[in-house]
Structure 1
């Protein structure tokens, strides 16, 4: 399926109730993250100790944290961190996985075997373990988190792209293009990759939800974004010790993570139905 067909399928997914509701929430989160400086009068890193542990009110809709910082402000700015880290990491992973998988599936031989060994090796370990090892090597922070997430999810996109390429490389139109003297790069970029794009993009979207959880997990352990930069995981970490004194500190970031991940999965399911990927994979 071409990129245009994929975009048309996204439009069909948005017209379903499941896709519309989940898409609206995702749009709301993205817009809130982008326009955070306009939506809130507070700064996310300015402490106001006299107002520490303030319960939700008209002045602070979600309350304040242990340093008196407005929690809504930090949730909005935390969305910037969590979403940007997850989306950028998965984008890098998707691009790299498509390049490796397409080359391995099309050319085969020693390169295919080398890629397969590397992919199978990383596939055998849980993503959280790979991420923890890489963050321990690179060091805590946003950069280490992004590299860890990108590498942790590389295997699934490489495997998926390779399988798609191998399924369609023997099609008649591919053989015709070869007989007409088309270069390998042209065949890959013009025919093979566009026709394997839809399943990989959907897998990338679903993996973004997992990446948000992984980023929040690393932030909860203090290995993600470092203070005072807010992220949903680090906010939950600071609120875990204050659960009975100020539960809103952990509840609202936790809800943001949970609802956003559920929305991504629901929209991904609507997109799978719109693209009819399951039928296409069975036919392949």
Structure 2
């Protein structure tokens, strides 16, 4: 039965994204995310402008045929900076959440499987960090490490670590009492084999879906740090930094703050909608149980 379940799990994971894209909401949200990612990757091919070249004679230009989204206070093309800013927002958020998921799964799996003193130690640290808002944890870490992309990535990774560790711990504790885990242990399987061959493959899907949803929050956190000048440093474009510079120009050149804000808002909403589609496609009631 273990072999049958092992072959069913990859099929479930392989079809999860396909199921999400079959829904109307998932297709629209996923399509926007794919389009944005491609536009960010190939930004240097899609726009004739450079994100850091100033043209003061074109400063505060409204949207036009030559500058579709207008220019900022230094005459830089806003669409170009939004596309390059997407590179920062998406890469920082995805990499940070990926690292947070990886570390959280390791800690949560160890705590849930071994229990005892190790579980109490890890749970205490996790609960302590969980009691503070993510933005407060991020601000403290950035203040220690220093502003910039590296500091932002470390801050986001640590800020969201607790939720993945708690979720993995709960999943592992629920699965380790299954009959096939007891059978594997009785047959002499090592702790490493049980953890990485049986427990984590069964616990990983809900954690990945949670990570997908947390990526939207990470984009907001990255933009918040950028808004306060603690994220990517000039002249590197950042959605948060662009909105920060646009606040003082809201009535003179509102497009400077509106368009980066729309890009961030649409992206976060799309991530949440696609995450909901993933949850619907997951359909935990159809997951095979191993007896």
TM (norm. structure 2) is 0.94
Three-state SS of the structure 1 residue aligned to 2:64 is coil
Distance in 1 of aligned mates of 2:105 and 2:30: 26
Q: CA deviation at 1:276?
A: 1.6
Q: 1:278 to 1:159 in 2, by over 3 A?
A: farther
2:53 counterpart (36, 46, 58): 46
The list of structure 1 runs, each at least 4 consecutive aligned residues, that deviate by more than 4 angstroms after superposition, is 277-280
Distance in 1 of aligned mates of 2:176 and 2:145: 39
TM (norm. structure 1) is 0.97
Match of 2:274 in 1: 267
Cα deviations by residue, 1:122-178 (Å, 9 ceiling, x for unpaired):
000000000000001111100000000000000000000000000010100001111
1:214 counterpart (218, 221, 225): 221
Within 5 A, what are the aligned runs for 1:115-134?
115-134=122-141
Cα deviations by residue, 1:38-81 (Å, 9 ceiling, x for unpaired):
00010000000000000000100000000000000000000000
Q: CA deviation at 1:10?
A: 1.2
Distance in 2 of aligned mates of 1:169 and 1:101: 13
2:145 counterpart (138, 144, 166): 138
Three-state SS of the structure 2 residue aligned to 1:65 is coil
Q: Is 1:36 the counterpart of 2:73 in the alignment?
A: no
Query: Aligned-pair RMSD on alpha carbons?
Result: 1.1
CA contact 1:3–1:197 (8 Å) conserved in 2: no
Cα deviations by residue, 1:190-237 (Å, 9 ceiling, x for unpaired):
110010011100000000000000000000000000000001100000
Distance in 2 of aligned mates of 1:74 and 1:279: 45
Within 5 A, what are the aligned runs for 1:93-242?
93-242=100-249
- The number of equivalent residue pairs is 280
Match of 1:2 in 2: 9
Match of 2:4 in 1: none
Where does structure 1 lack aligned partners over 5 or more consecutive residues? none
Three-state SS of the structure 1 residue aligned to 2:112 is helix
1:88 counterpart (85, 95, 102): 95
